[in-house]
């Protein structure tokens, strides 16, 4: 029963609160959060929910049908034990210090103790203004809420660390947005996603106090994060904050490697969008690579410099960690251990990246320089001609390694990943054939069993990802009042590595109409 949810609000209990309550916009000093209630909405309607998250929180699925439940998910009804609040944080946006940002359109309700005994913060995104809303309204539209809801669940099932989504509701109210910032505002349907994570603390939560010289609150926050999330850091000396950085660096490296594995581009890797737990957080203008192009970013706001392009994400994560190191410096007062933690990020990333690439190629490691070359070659062959990244890797698993096979015949499954294959030139096809020949020869040399190799490759090379155009189709239907495609895609992304023959259409290359369509290839921050 929803009313039986047990809350244990460590964050609000342990950390200093803003003395002022309510939504008045303000600079909040010496406090980690402000208490604020979600705004009531007119006519909440449930569009979708995550059964897995229900289970994790110990809720029966039938609960969703009870009148009154959707009221909780929309912020109209608070449960006993909830302590609604918005967090105070700052951040570097596109490389520049932006001062106080904070939860401008997210209100955390409280921490539920899940079935595994872990704390899970419930947070409503789009539930109305907070002290941190600045000039904006605190609301979210259906389009961006569908994208966040589906993508966070998709990422989880792909095995990528992420915040989760419990539910998606529409509010029955209109929200005006200028989607492309081109002077064409229009009313859209308002929506609220209930997000869930053990903690929503970001790099920016630390940066705000460091920027203000507020060492006391900074330390309070750092000690809280160590005690709740990294309790194995037992060092009583100030060096413990460098150990904290090292842990965050490690998790961040692992997260970015996973993004690269599945072709995910976050789109807005500002330090306020970097989770201290190494979770993918704040799904805005994110996107998935269809054709493999390391320079691609979906974010129109970043089109000029492409700071947050696919192939630059590992560097940006490091840049962000350096900002976190700077923020923690007043607590450590020693540069070296902080530098070591950053160095650890670089090494961890390299090791993990190498393991990840090996697994995608069906090798156990890339220790042999020939295998390292094959990894480089795979990435360059995808750029010889427009090639679908997801399809390429999945199909590579289907290539027959036996010696007797004709080279072109062998390469056929892989050629299915090429866009407009009919117009591919002979040298382009040859590049694929050469790569495949070398890769197959190496597997023969290693004595791999084809069936086992394919199984291991299929476990890391997904068949289905949430392609941009798919989310867009679901959004267009949902905007017409039909949420069935959201449900269908949620079901699809639950098993991204499995063959789902009845849903094969979603594994095909991006359709041509989606190549340049807004929502499919370009997105703005407006949400």
Stretch that binds ligand AMP, among 215-223, 268-276, 464-472, 483-491 (CB under 6 A): 268-276
Q: How far apart are the first and last CA of the chain?
A: 33
Between 101 and 248, CB nearer to ligand AMP: 101
Give the separation between CA 200 and CA 196, rounded to whole angstroms. 9
| By CB under 6 A, residue 217 contacts ligand AMP | no
Query: Looking at beta carbons, which residue is closest to Mg ion?
Result: 282
Within 99-239, where are the H helices?
A: 142-158, 203-211, 215-229
Between 97 and 216, CB nearer to Mg ion: 97
Q: Could you tell me the smallest distance in angstroms from the CB atom of residue 21 to ligand AMP? A: 18
Between 103 and 229, CB nearer to ligand AMP: 103
CB 202 within 8 A of CB 221: no
Distance of alpha carbon 297 from the chain centroid? 15
For ligand AMP, the binding residues in 121-160 under the rule CB under 6 A are 132-133, 136-139
Q: If you ran DSSP here, which 8-state letter would residue 159 be given?
A: T
Q: One of 18, 114, 272, 388 is an active-site residue; which one? A: 272
Give the separation between CA 132 and CA 23, rounded to whole angstroms. 8
From residue 269 to residue 308, the character string flagging contacts with ligand AMP as x (rule: CB under 6 A) and all else as - is ---xx--------x-x------------------------
From residue 496 to residue 525, the character string flagging contacts with ligand AMP as x (rule: CB under 6 A) and all else as - is -----------------------------x
Give the separation between CA 193 and CA 44, rounded to whole angstroms. 12
Give the separation between CA 24 and CA 36, rounded to whole angstroms. 10
For ligand AMP, the binding residues in 2-61 under the rule CB under 6 A are none
- How far, CA to CA in Å, does 69 sit from each of 41, 56, 61, 76, 189? 14, 17, 11, 10, 20
Tokens standing for residue 361: 């190629």
Tokens standing for residue 251: 């998790």
Q: Could you tell me the smallest distance in angstroms from the CB atom of residue 13 to ligand AMP? A: 23
Instruction: Return residues touching Mg ion (CB under 5 A).
Output: 273, 282
For the question of residue 406 being annotated catalytic, the response is no
Give the separation between CA 520 and CA 505, rounded to whole angstroms. 17
Interface with ligand AMP: number of residues (CB under 6 A): 17
How many alpha carbons lie under 13 Å from residue 417 in its C-beta half-sphere? Answer: 29
Numbers of helices and strands, H then E, in the chain: 16, 11
Between 250 and 282, CB nearer to Mg ion: 282
Q: What are phi and psi of 185, to 5 degrees?
A: -70, 145
Between 88 and 366, CB nearer to ligand AMP: 88
Q: Could you tell me the smallest distance in angstroms from the CB atom of residue 473 to ligand AMP? A: 24
| Active centre residues (catalytic) | 272
Where on the chain is the footprint of ligand AMP (CB under 6 A)?
101-105, 132-133, 136-139, 268, 272-273, 282, 284, 525
């Amino acid at each position: 029963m929803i009313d039986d949810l047990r809350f244990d609000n460590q964050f609000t209990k342990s950390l200093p609160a803003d003395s002022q309550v309510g939504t008045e916009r303000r600079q909040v000093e010496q406090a980690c959060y402000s208490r604020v209630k979600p705004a009531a909405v007119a006519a909440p309607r449930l569009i979708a929910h995550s059964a897995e998250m229900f289970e994790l929180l110990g809720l029966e699925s039938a609960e969703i049908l009870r009148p009154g439940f959707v009221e909780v998910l929309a912020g109209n009804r608070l449960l006993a034990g909830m302590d609604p609040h918005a967090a105070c944080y700052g951040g570097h946006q596109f490389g520049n210090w932006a001062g106080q940002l904070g939860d401008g359109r997210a209100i955390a309700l409280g921490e539920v103790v899940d079935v595994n005994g872990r704390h899970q913060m419930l947070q409503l995104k789009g539930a109305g203004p907070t002290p941190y809303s600045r000039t904006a309204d605190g609301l979210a539209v259906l389009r961006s809420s569908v994208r966040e809801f589906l993508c966070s669940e998709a990422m989880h099932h792909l095995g990528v660390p992420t915040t989760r989504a419990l539910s998606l509701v529409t509010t029955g109210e209109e929200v005006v947005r200028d989607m492309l910032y081109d002077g064409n505002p229009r009313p859209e349907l308002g929506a609220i996603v209930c997000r869930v994570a053990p903690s929503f603390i970001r790099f920016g939560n630390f940066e705000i106090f460091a920027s203000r010289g507020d060492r006391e609150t900074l330390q309070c926050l750092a000690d809280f994060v160590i005690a709740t999330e990294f309790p194995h850091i037992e060092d009583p000396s100030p060096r413990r904050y460098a150990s904290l950085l090292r842990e965050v660096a490690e998790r961040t490296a692992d997260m970015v490697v996973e993004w690269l594995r599945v072709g995910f581009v976050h789109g807005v890797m500002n330090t306020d969008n970097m989770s201290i737990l190494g979770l993918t957080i704040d799904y805005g203008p994110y996107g998935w690579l269809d054709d493999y192009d390391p320079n691609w970013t979906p974010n129109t706001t970043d089109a000029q410099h492409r700071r947050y392009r696919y192939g630059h994400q590992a560097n940006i994560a490091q840049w962000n960690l350096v900002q976190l190191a700077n923020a923690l410096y007043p607590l450590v007062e020693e540069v070296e251990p902080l530098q070591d933690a950053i160095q650890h990020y670089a090494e961890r990333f390299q090791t993990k990246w190498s393991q990840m690439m090996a697994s995608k190629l069906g090798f156990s490691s890339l220790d042999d320089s020939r295998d390292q070359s094959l990894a480089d070659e795979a990435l360059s062959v995808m750029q010889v001609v427009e090639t679908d990244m997801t399809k390429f890797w999945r199909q590579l698993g289907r290539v027959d390694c036996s010696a007797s096979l004709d080279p072109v015949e062998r390469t056929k499954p892989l050629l299915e990943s090429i866009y407009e294959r009919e117009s591919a030139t002979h040298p382009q096809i040859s590049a694929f054939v050469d790569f495949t020949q070398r890769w197959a020869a190496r597997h023969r040399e290693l004595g791999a069993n084809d069936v086992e190799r394919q199984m291991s490759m299929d476990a890391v090379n997904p068949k289905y990802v949430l392609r941009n155009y798919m989310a867009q189709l679901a959004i267009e239907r949902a905007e017409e009042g039909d949420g069935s495609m959201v449900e269908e895609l949620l079901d699809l992304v639950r098993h991204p590595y499995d063959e789902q023959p009845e849903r094969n259409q979603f594994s095909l290359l991006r359709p041509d109409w989606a190549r340049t369509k807004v929502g499919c290839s370009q997105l703005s921050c407006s949400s």
